[in-house]
Amino acid sequence: AEPEHPYRSVYQRDRDRILHSSAFRRLSGKTQVFTGDMGDYHRTRLTHTYEVASIARTLSRALRLNEDLAEALALFHDVGHPPFGHAGEAALHACLRDHGGFSHNQHALTVAEEIEQRYPNFPGLNLTCEVLDSQVARAERAADSVPLLEAQIVDAADSITYDAHDTDDAVKLGLLNIEQLADIPLIARMVQRVRRRFATIDGSALRKALVHELIDYQVSDVLRVNDAALTQGNYSSAAEARQGGYRVRPSQELAEEKAELERYLYLAVYRHPRLLEVRAEAQQRLRELFDFLVGHPHHLPEFFQERIPGRGLQRAVGDYMAGMTDRFFRQQYERLRPGGTGG
C-alpha cells in the first residue's frame, strides 16, 4: 500500500509508471509482425500499443467505463514481449521448455514486479491489483474467469487494431494487394463504404481510407452491441456486470467476418515466405544465444547474474533475452558470435 497521489488517480499513476519503464520504451525496437529490415512504414510493438490504447480509451469513455484503467491496461498489455514477435516468443518457449516455458503475458508480470527497479521505496512498479490481476487473467486465459470490463475492452481493442494495421502493413509492403483482399467479405464491404463517399479513390489513398473504415466500423460495432447489452442488463455498475458474467463482444456478424479476415491474413501474411525466412533465422539465432549464455553466464549483466540463485540459470537467461530489442539482440549476437567456431 502507498498513499494516493494528490492529483492523479491510482490508474493514472500506473499508466505513468508503465510509460516510464524501460520495458515500455524498448517496445519501439521490438517487432510486431514485420521486422525493421523490411522498411519503416509498418507498426512496431510500441505504435501497436498506442493504437490499442487509443481505441480502448474511446470505447471506455463511450461505455462510461474507467478510461484511466483501460489506458494503463492497454499500455501494459505487450510489455512482456521478447524480440521478434511471436517467433521470438516461440523460440524462448522452446529454450525454456524444461524450465516452465515462456509466455509474454506471464513475463509482463515478472517485468512489473521484479525486473523494473526504478523506485527506492518499493520493488517493481507497484501497480494496482486491477492491472496486475487483469494481466494474470491474460496469462491464464481460464475459460470460466470473467476479466474486468476494462480488460475485456483492451482485448477487443487489440483485435480491432491488429486486424486493421496488419492489413494496412501487408498491402503497403506489397505482400498482397487490395484486389486480392476484396475476396474477403469484410474488406469488400469496407471498400464499398469508402467508394460510396469517394467514388474514384484508388491506390494508396484507397488503402488508407480502407484502414480508417476498418477501425471505425469495428469500433462502432463493438460500441453499439455492448451499449445495448449493458443497457438491457440493467447493471448498476461495471462490477455488477462482471459478476453477472458479462462478455464484451462484437456482433455475431462482425465476429464471423473478422475470423475470415484473420484466416486469410494467417495464410497470406503471417505464413508469407518472406516472414517465414526472417522468423526461422531469428529463432535459430535466439536458440544459439540462449545456449551460449547458459554456458557462459558471466556474459549476463550483473542484475541477471544475481537472479540466477533465486530464479535458476535458464530462467535468468530467458528474462534477460526477453528484454532485448531486435537491434540489441543482433548486436549481442554479432559480438558474442554464439554460432561461430570461437564459441
Binding residues for Mg ion, rule: CB under 5 A, are 78, 158
- The smaller minimum CB distance to Mg ion, of residues 78 and 213, is found at 78
* Distances, alpha carbon 157 to alpha carbons 37, 151, 163, 208, 274, in Å: 27, 10, 10, 19, 28
107/33 Cα distance (integer angstroms) = 19
CA distance to 15, 277, 294, per residue, from 317 (Å): 28, 25, 7
Q: How far is the CB of 157 from Mg ion (least distance, A)?
A: 9
Residue 53 or 282 having the CB closest to Mg ion: 53
What is the per-residue DSSP string for 257-278? HHHHHHHHHIIIIIT-HHHHHH
Closer by beta carbon to Mg ion, 248 or else 300: 248
**215-228 core/surface letters (b: 16 or more CB in 10 A; e: else):** bebbbebbeebbee
Helix (H, G, I), strand (E, B) or coil at 77: coil
Q: Which is nearer to Mg ion, 81 or 272 (CB)?
A: 81
DSSP letters of 209-233? HHHHHHHHHHHHHHHHHHHHHHHHH
Q: How far apart are the first and last CA of the chain?
A: 48
Considering the complex, state which of residue 78 and residue 169 has its C-beta at the smaller distance from Mg ion.
78
Q: Which of 298, 299, 289, 279 is nearest to 321 (CA)?
A: 289
141: its cell numbers = 486465459
Between CA 328 and CA 323 the distance in angstroms is 9
Q: Least Å distance between CB 78 and Mg ion? A: 5
CB closer to Mg ion, 74 vs 289 = 74
Using Cβ positions, the residue closest to Mg ion within the complex turns out to be 158
CB neighbourhood size of 188 (10 A): 13
Q: Quick one: 49 or 314, whose CB is closer to Mg ion?
A: 49
Tell me the closest approach of the beta carbon of residue 167 to Mg ion, in angstroms.
15
Shortest approach of Mg ion to residue 161 CB, angstroms? 7
Residue 47 sits at the vertex; the CA angle it makes with 42 and 53, to the nearest 5 degrees, is 140
**C-alpha–C-alpha distance, residues 147 and 104, integer Å:** 18
Residue with smaller CB distance to Mg ion, 21 or 314: 21
Query: Least distance from C-beta 286 to Mg ion, angstroms?
Result: 20
Nearest approach in angstroms of CB 243 to Mg ion is 27
